[in-house]
Amino acid sequence: MSAPLLEVDGLSKSFDGVRAVDGLSFALERGRITAFIGPNGAGKTTTMRIAATLEIPDRGDVRIEGISVLEEPQQARLRLGFMADQFVPYADLDVEQYLQFFAHAYGLRGLARRRTVASVIEFCGLGDMLRRPTTGLSKGMGQRLHLAKTLLHDPPLLLLDEPAAGLDPRARIELRELLRELAAAGKGVLISSHILAELSEIADALVLIEAGRLVLAGTTAEAQRAVREHHLIRMRVLEDNRRAERWLLTQPQVREVKVLDEVHLQFDFTGDERAMAELLRRAVEAGLGVVSFATEEADLEEVFMRTTRGVLQ
């Protein structure tokens, strides 16, 4: 069995006596976008910097494809791409020179270097910007260039620290698309962001930390199940929502029925999916005129709010 793409194992780190990360452990799989969330000061950036070999933990280790970042940082660096929260460009270099320089620094030579640079330029949509000075790029274009640089050595793991911060809606959507393509290509992505609605749309899994400790880790479905012990169901009927409300209140495992408007109702259902299907069948047979019947998934914001306490380090 191959080693996990990223394995964080009992990580602890303190700064001036303040514990930034406290016994954190989690793993990340290939081909998945994992949202790394937590309140400000939760230890997200510290964890990412340790994983990127830029900090050393007081205890614990991080392994990338089984390679310890503590013991073999050089080997680990070949397997990771780290995009820090801030893009710092070089003065007096244009976009192409910038990428050529980093390709050279990553040891790419000859045709391989040219092809790689050309492909990341195309992938990140930088084709029209090649002669632009790197210091003259917009925030969105700067982040694209930053991502392009991060992809040059084709790392299987991407650590992205707040990549969408400061981007306009179009740039965010474009970045999201790029990340989806990268995950589809088999790369594992650990992405931290404060914009949870954004992450909700692309993340397959999440790691939630608070005060340096793990609160929740797993797929988004597992997280949703963890925060809700029941299903929240939204139902639309043709007419007579009051009758539908009265009927629902008589049904087993149904609680807290709310009439949202003339045709929409929402209620908690504590049964499993088979019981849910049975409830739908009975509702149809009762002639309620059911137009739609769907579970409402908990989004990351709800997961975040229900699981964190706002503890700051």
Partner 1 sequence: MSEQGAQSIPLAERLAERLNPVLVRELHQGVRSRAFIVALGLVLLANALAAVLIAANLSEMRPGEPFLHALTTLISALVLVVPVRALFAMVREVEPGLSEQLLLTRLRPRRIVHGQLLAAAFHIFALTGLFAPLLALTYLLRGVDVVAIVLGLGLAAGLALALAGGALALGSLARVRALAPLARALGLFGVFSGAGVATPLILEGLGDLVQWYASDPEEFRNALLGMLGALVLGLWLCELVATAMLSHPFENRSTGFRVHAWAVAAAAFGFVLAAVPQRFLDEALPAAGAVACALAAPVWLIAATEEESFSPRVRRHVPPSRLLAALAAVFLPGGGRGLLWVLCSAALLLAGGLGLPPLLAGTPADPAVAVVLAMVLLYGVLYAAVGRVVRGRMRPGLRASWLARALLLGIALLGSLLPLLLDAIVGGGIERWHPGHILDPVWTLVELRRIRRAHDPVLILGVLAALAVLAAAPSMRRGLAESWHAAAARRGRARPAPAAPAAAR
Contact residues for partner 1 (CB under 8 A)? 52-54, 56, 68, 70-74, 77-78, 80, 82, 84, 86-88, 90-94, 97, 101-102, 104-107, 109-111, 113-115, 118, 133, 149, 153
Count the Cβ atoms, other than its own, within 10 Å of residue 268.
16
Shortest spacing between CB 191 and partner 1, in angstroms: 18
Q: What is the DSSP string of 101-152?
A: HHHHHTT--HHHHHHHHHHHHHHTT-GGGTTSBGGG--HHHHHHHHHHHHHT
Nearer to partner 1, 135 or 292 (CB): 135
Closest CA to 204 of 215, 188, 225, 226: 188
Shortest spacing between CB 47 and partner 1, in angstroms: 16
Nearer to partner 1, 100 or 295 (CB): 100
What does the buried/exposed string (b/e) look like for 78-99 if buried means 16 or more CB atoms within 10 Å of the residue's CB?
bbbbbbbeebebeeeebbbebb
Nearer to partner 1, 69 or 237 (CB): 69
88: tokens are: 């710092």
Half-sphere exposure of 27 (CA within 13 A, CB side): 9
Shortest spacing between CB 15 and partner 1, in angstroms: 11
Shortest spacing between CB 91 and partner 1, in angstroms: 7
Nearer to partner 1, 144 or 231 (CB): 144
Backbone angles phi, psi at 228, to 5 degrees: -120, 120
Shortest spacing between CB 73 and partner 1, in angstroms: 6
Closest CA to 28 of 69, 77, 64, 78: 64
Shortest spacing between CB 169 and partner 1, in angstroms: 26
Nearer to partner 1, 27 or 70 (CB): 70
Shortest spacing between CB 17 and partner 1, in angstroms: 10
Nearer to partner 1, 63 or 231 (CB): 63
124: tokens are: 């990140």
Nearer to partner 1, 120 or 183 (CB): 120
Would you say the C-alpha torsion 11, 15, 19, 21 has a positive or negative sign? negative
Would you say the C-alpha torsion 64, 69, 70, 74 has a positive or negative sign? positive
Shortest spacing between CB 255 and partner 1, in angstroms: 53
Q: Are 51 and 64 in contact (CB under 8 A)?
A: yes
Nearer to partner 1, 88 or 312 (CB): 88
192: tokens are: 């931290």
Straight-line distance from the first to the last Cα atom of the chain, in angstroms, rounded to the nearest whole number: 38
